[in-house]
Structure 1
Amino acid sequence: MEGKSSFSAKRRETVLKAMEQETPLDLLVIGGGITGAGIALDAATRGMRVGVLEKNDFGSGTSSRSTKLIHGGLRYLKQGDVKLVQEVGRERAILYKNAPHLVVPAPMLLPVYKGGTYGYLATSIGLYVYDWLAGVARKERRKMLSRKQTMELEPLLKKDGLKGGGLYFEYRTDDARLTLDIMKTACQRGAKAVNYTEVTDFVYENGRAAGVTVHDRISGRHHEIRAKHIVNAAGPWADEIRSIDGSLKGKRLFLTKGVHLVVDSHRLPVHQAAYFDTPDGRMVFVIPRGHITYIGTTDTAYSASIDQPRMTQEDRDYLIRAVNAMFPAVKLTERDIRSHWAGLRPLIYEEGKGPSELSRKDEIFISDSQLITIAGGKLTGFRKMAEKVVDLVAGRLQQSGGKAYPSCSTDKITISGGERPEGVSYEDWKRQMIQDGIAAGVDGQTMQEWVDLYGSNALRIVKRLPESARLNIPPQLQWLHAQLTYSVEEEMTVTPADFLRLRSGWSYFNLAKAEKYRNIVEKMMNDLLDLQPEQKEAQLAMLNQLFRHLHELPVNEQQLQSMTS
């Protein structure tokens, strides 16, 4: 079992060399976020030889820093974009079917206040139209609530001016896990993907981008990878890739920052998720998740470091004020913040529009060198974005080589972790997996967490427990060793920081656990990866930086700019 997966951290260099030798690939994707993962899955499924290069870890940028909702497109209805509401509604239903371990229906309360953005009638009509356009299942269609019903559903709401509310459905997800499991599925179908590989230059033939020079940030080695077509799916870094290509002209990205706070559930004990007006007219989510509640998001123009977007004290105080205005009894303070995250939205710049007004639509740019760039878009729409890109590449490959490729079929592909026995509901399968884990010696809470994180792949971790015991790992740590071994050998986890933030989500949603086990995780991963002293130092520095950013905040954007310039 050890190191055999093509998605093993121990086989990174082998996969990278294979990518280099398989010249030229049909398609090379720059960027290992949700869009790059979706493109890789679509292309591999159609039979293309596809490679993915990600300069950090998979999903480490925008794709792990969202509100962690598979939106049905309510905000697009507000903008009058009927077609987009229909599309994201369909996409949400597809994801719910194909990744049931990561896409969970979550009822959302939309309180209606006198003088708010929408009146009661407008909210009722809007949610009805939204359900109809998005094809929402009957059991999940909106319900309008009286003032009394709204207060019974959420007693903490501000009472002054409350007229009632609307209850509709969003779908909660773990965006980092979704990105990773899609990439794993792509690799199972033949794609090659390697993290910590930075594109430093392009290779040209007759003025056409025919390959890239890559710096492996782990080994320090350089590689040259050739491809018939190259797609830039680098999210907030897309314009940097266009600059390397010398094609940064015309439309450009406009980056906005979104910030989220995490507090213990007893400090914001909302009964269920809510979406509400802030005093300045913007909208904020409050979402309970196990023993925590998270709050977001801001939407402000951003021009500091793309590699290290960070929350400022201004961001924090804005969200605290918004929550205290809507839930006046809770009286949150800065001391209640357990963790947080900040992410960047790579929007397409439009003259005269503010950050919240810019379209979330995606767009494709093709440079003179034939570099294809996909920019903009939303988490929910990643599969359709990928389909557009791969359709374009398939047409070009057929034109140049005569080979026809099938149409997109990713709507029918179960994402890794979502598998279950035929004829068994996913809820019944979850219960069975938890029982099987407990029978194998895993405590119930740990097995529940594994099933929630990994879906059916949790059983692959359970199978590693005997090996952890054979290696004389202390009994109370065998669960962690098995989880880390799986993460390294089947999820290309290269650093302890990536495990704590992206693979497990502990640094976001269980900071006490992350702090408790950080040193043990570091030691176990050093042994699993057989790291050299200088590599251990580099990994420790990344780990320290992760926790430092959770505890130290710049005062404002100006200070952040000076810290990162």
Structure 2
Amino acid sequence: MAQPDPRQAEAITGRLGAAEREAAWRRLDADQFDLVVVGGGVTGAGVALDAATRGLRVALVEARDLASGTSSRSSKLFHGGLRYLEQLEFGLVREALRERELMLTRLAPHLVKPVSFLYPLTHRIWERPYTAAGLLLYDTMGGARSVPGQKHLTRAGALRMVPALRSSALVGGIRYFDAHADDARHTMTVARTAAHYGAVVRTSTQVVGMLREADRISGVRVRDVEDGREVDVAAHVVVNCTGVWTDEIQRLSGSRGRFRVRASKGVHIVVPRDRIVSDSGLILRTEKSVLFVIPWRSNHWIVGTTDTDWNLDLAHPAATRADIDYILDHVNKVLATPLTHDDIEGVYAGLRPLLAGESEETSKLSREHAVARVAPGLVAIAGGKYTTYRVMAADAVDTAATDLPGRIAPSITDKVPLLGADGYHALVNQADQLAGRHGLHPYRVRHLLDRYGSMVHEVLALAADRPDLLRPVPAAPDYLQVEVAYAASHEGALHLEDVLTRRTRISIEYPHRGIDCAEPVARLMAEVLGWDDRTVAREVEVYTARVEAERDSQTQPDDQAADARRSAAPEARSHVTEPVA
């Protein structure tokens, strides 16, 4: 069968496959770009989409995988940030609620879903009116636009909603709504949407130097960390969207930065749904911040987070035994049946890129973002919240306009649905028919729709001549084998960890953390990517070592010991070096 032209396929579907990857390398070498975006997290993907939809020539390069850093390790919430009201950050809350609304209704309804939270009241008389006033402000700012507003409950009503709570742990409750999403899948979809509108998107492509013409930055030198090739990429502006690596990339330019970024470690645990009997998520106050119990898929809870300084390996933050104990101790204060370490299916640690203050605790550092033109031809953006990535991206492109020839169009990404959004609602109504055509149970089709939206047809097309791909992944039956094939053929997955950790979330949803299905998943990827038996064996070996290192780190008493254990695991991308972008 004749293969489509890679550029044409990329433009039509935002496909990130092997042919598109090689075509992207040639374009990096040959084209003059308006913007080169460094960093493939949600901010970098958002900048690429914003620039591409303004008609600019843009390339996005990422040293590892899309969302491989902070953007796959968040609390997975699209929320206004209720606690920021107490910090009087009203503008941030209003902005975040507007973005949440756009995601729910227009831009990504297939990925971003409403979720309810119960706030247990623990003090009589004053706490209910105080909390109600805050939630009324939250609802008025936009929190109740397309989801229900706050609902007040007696203790008995709250216990009916969340039977898992100890009756002595509350005197009543208030339910409110926010939204959540699979952060890694959302980020990858933003990047694919940017490719759909003409952006060059290339992972495993590390910035190793900055190009200069006189006193200005004129591009970057990049290395393919899969094979070691290097090439110069010419651009009018380089946009540093590397989050916690902002300072490291800044040093490559030889220019002094305008702000400093601090890394704050946040740890979450994943437990089975039946360990906490509840019809709603929970938000609990702690002495430092808040703790969320968040519904995850149909059969898990995510519980977190911590908020502590981190000054060690930025690529592989490690959770410690103390971090996990902190989460368990706080959630068990309100649960009738306490959680134990044996209940934990998965653990993940991520780093928030916070704008640094002089002596503030990380939980009190601002989640506002900052954009600066740190040198002619170089823009940096840092801070912010996942929820407000689109606003951050627009601000970065606006700042880059100073160094771009001619006038640029205004941002339009508030009107640009992500791939899979168009037609999603109609397909939900047609799920039974779609299931019947493909011999699947309707719940399987709904699962696919909430991950791919209207791109579900592309996914299922891979199984047209391979009905065996519609079988579950061995040892990970929540996923179908066709999803693995699609991750490698369309979603830019280059390594086993990309699929098990980010294209799916098998690494945190099963107690085996992906080890039990590593071999069959690697075999499926090999069919698409052309791996030989030796490569399959290495991928399984590297992934297994990663999981064992993470498990070992999670038994350590402090950050230094945990970091030493986690950092000992080998890298899947053999040519990547520190600092990474």
TM-score by length of 2: 0.89
Tell me the distance in 1 between the aligned counterparts of 2:155 and 2:148.
21
In structure 2, the residue matched to 1:495 is: 495
Aligned CA distance change for structure 1 residues 392 and 139 (closer, same or farther; 3 Å): closer
Which letter does structure 1 place at the counterpart of 2:219?
Answer: G
- Aligned 8 A contact 1:2 1:489 in 2: no
Tell me the distance in 2 between the aligned counterparts of 1:374 and 1:496.
31
Residue 340 (structure 2) pairs with residue 337 (structure 1): no
SS of residue matched to 2:282: strand
> How far did residue 560 of structure 1 move?
2.5
Residue 116 (structure 2) pairs with residue 107 (structure 1): yes
Which letter does structure 1 place at the counterpart of 2:447?
Answer: E
SS of residue matched to 2:338: coil
In structure 1, the residue matched to 2:398 is: 391
SS of residue matched to 1:465: coil
- Aligned 8 A contact 1:147 1:162 in 2: yes
Tell me the distance in 1 between the aligned counterparts of 2:487 and 2:470.
19
Which of 135, 147, 150 is matched with 1:142 structurally? 150
> How far did residue 320 of structure 1 move?
0.7
In structure 1, the residue matched to 2:267 is: 259
In structure 1, the residue matched to 2:539 is: 539
Aligned CA distance change for structure 1 residues 308 and 209 (closer, same or farther; 3 Å): same
Residue 82 (structure 2) pairs with residue 74 (structure 1): yes
In structure 1, the residue matched to 2:430 is: 432
> How far did residue 456 of structure 1 move?
1.6
Aligned CA distance change for structure 1 residues 448 and 514 (closer, same or farther; 3 Å): farther
Identity in percent: 32
User: Within 5 Å, which residues of 2 pair with 1:190-209?
Assistant: 190-209=198-217
SS of residue matched to 2:357: coil
In structure 2, the residue matched to 1:504 is: 504
Give ranges in structure 2 of 5+ residues lacking alignment.
569-581
Tell me the distance in 2 between the aligned counterparts of 1:441 and 1:151.
41
> How far did residue 378 of structure 1 move?
0.5
Aligned CA distance change for structure 1 residues 384 and 163 (closer, same or farther; 3 Å): same
Tell me the distance in 2 between the aligned counterparts of 1:323 and 1:331.
8
Aligned CA distance change for structure 1 residues 499 and 277 (closer, same or farther; 3 Å): same
Tell me the distance in 1 between the aligned counterparts of 2:205 and 2:277.
43
In structure 1, the residue matched to 2:578 is: none
> How far did residue 516 of structure 1 move?
4.1
- Aligned 8 A contact 1:292 1:509 in 2: yes
Which letter does structure 1 place at the counterpart of 2:249?
Answer: I
SS of residue matched to 1:130: helix
User: Within 5 Å, which residues of 2 pair with 1:107-506?
Assistant: 107-114=116-123, 119-134=127-142, 136-137=144-145, 140-160=148-168, 162-249=170-257, 251-278=259-286, 280-289=287-296, 290-327=298-335, 329-397=336-404, 401=405, 403-420=406-423, 426=425, 429-469=427-467, 480-506=480-506
- Aligned 8 A contact 1:314 1:555 in 2: yes
- Aligned 8 A contact 1:156 1:270 in 2: yes
CA RMSD of aligned residues (A): 2.4
Aligned CA distance change for structure 1 residues 144 and 281 (closer, same or farther; 3 Å): farther
Which letter does structure 2 place at the counterpart of 1:543?
Answer: Y
Aligned CA distance change for structure 1 residues 504 and 148 (closer, same or farther; 3 Å): same
Tell me the distance in 1 between the aligned counterparts of 2:188 and 2:471.
29
In structure 1, the residue matched to 2:579 is: none
Tell me the distance in 1 between the aligned counterparts of 2:376 and 2:186.
32
Q: Deviations over 1:203-233 (max 9, x none)?
A: 1110211111111011221111110000000
Tell me the distance in 2 between the aligned counterparts of 1:473 and 1:104.
28
> How far did residue 535 of structure 1 move?
4.5
Tell me the distance in 2 between the aligned counterparts of 1:161 and 1:482.
46
Residue 565 (structure 2) pairs with residue 557 (structure 1): no
- Aligned 8 A contact 1:418 1:455 in 2: yes
Aligned CA distance change for structure 1 residues 440 and 532 (closer, same or farther; 3 Å): closer
SS of residue matched to 2:465: helix
- Aligned 8 A contact 1:254 1:348 in 2: yes
Tell me the distance in 1 between the aligned counterparts of 2:442 and 2:400.
47
> How far did residue 84 of structure 1 move?
1.4
Q: Give aligned pairs, total.
A: 550
Q: Deviations over 1:352-388 (max 9, x none)?
A: 2111110001001322354211000101100000111
SS of residue matched to 1:258: strand
SS of residue matched to 1:110: strand
- Aligned 8 A contact 1:9 1:494 in 2: no
Q: Deviations over 1:446-501 (max 9, x none)?
A: 333222211221221111112325xx879777994532332222111111211111
- Aligned 8 A contact 2:473 2:517 in 1: no
Stretch deviating more after TM superposition (437-446 or 333-342): 437-446
Give ranges in structure 1 of 5+ residues lacking alignment.
none
Aligned CA distance change for structure 1 residues 236 and 139 (closer, same or farther; 3 Å): closer
> How far did residue 75 of structure 1 move?
1.9
SS of residue matched to 1:285: strand
Tell me the distance in 1 between the aligned counterparts of 2:473 and 2:119.
44
> How far did residue 39 of structure 1 move?
0.6
In structure 1, the residue matched to 2:573 is: none
Which of 45, 53, 60 is matched with 1:37 structurally? 45
TM-score by length of 1: 0.92
Q: Deviations over 1:251-283 (max 9, x none)?
A: 3111100011011112222321010123x3531
- Aligned 8 A contact 1:437 1:459 in 2: no
In structure 2, the residue matched to 1:90 is: 98
- Aligned 8 A contact 1:261 1:340 in 2: yes
Which letter does structure 2 place at the counterpart of 1:413?
Answer: V
Aligned CA distance change for structure 1 residues 526 and 139 (closer, same or farther; 3 Å): closer
Aligned CA distance change for structure 1 residues 481 and 146 (closer, same or farther; 3 Å): closer
Which letter does structure 1 place at the counterpart of 2:183?
Answer: D
Tell me the distance in 1 between the aligned counterparts of 2:238 and 2:147.
44
SS of residue matched to 2:490: helix
Which letter does structure 2 place at the counterpart of 1:265?
Answer: R
SS of residue matched to 2:484: helix
SS of residue matched to 1:114: coil
- Aligned 8 A contact 2:347 2:508 in 1: yes
- Aligned 8 A contact 1:433 1:459 in 2: no
- Aligned 8 A contact 1:85 1:134 in 2: no
> How far did residue 17 of structure 1 move?
1.5
Stretch deviating more after TM superposition (45-54 or 219-228): 219-228
SS of residue matched to 2:382: strand
> How far did residue 504 of structure 1 move?
1.4
Which of 20, 24, 33 is matched with 1:15 structurally? 24
- Aligned 8 A contact 1:40 1:183 in 2: yes
> How far did residue 139 of structure 1 move?
5.1
Q: Deviations over 1:239-262 (max 9, x none)?
A: 110121123555311110001101
- Aligned 8 A contact 2:306 2:323 in 1: yes
In structure 2, the residue matched to 1:525 is: 525
Aligned CA distance change for structure 1 residues 296 and 417 (closer, same or farther; 3 Å): same
> How far did residue 558 of structure 1 move?
2.7
- Aligned 8 A contact 2:241 2:382 in 1: yes
Residue 54 (structure 2) pairs with residue 51 (structure 1): no
Residue 28 (structure 2) pairs with residue 26 (structure 1): no
SS of residue matched to 1:436: helix
> How far did residue 561 of structure 1 move?
4.2
Aligned CA distance change for structure 1 residues 483 and 281 (closer, same or farther; 3 Å): closer
Tell me the distance in 1 between the aligned counterparts of 2:242 and 2:18.
25
- Aligned 8 A contact 1:199 1:213 in 2: yes
Aligned CA distance change for structure 1 residues 250 and 45 (closer, same or farther; 3 Å): closer
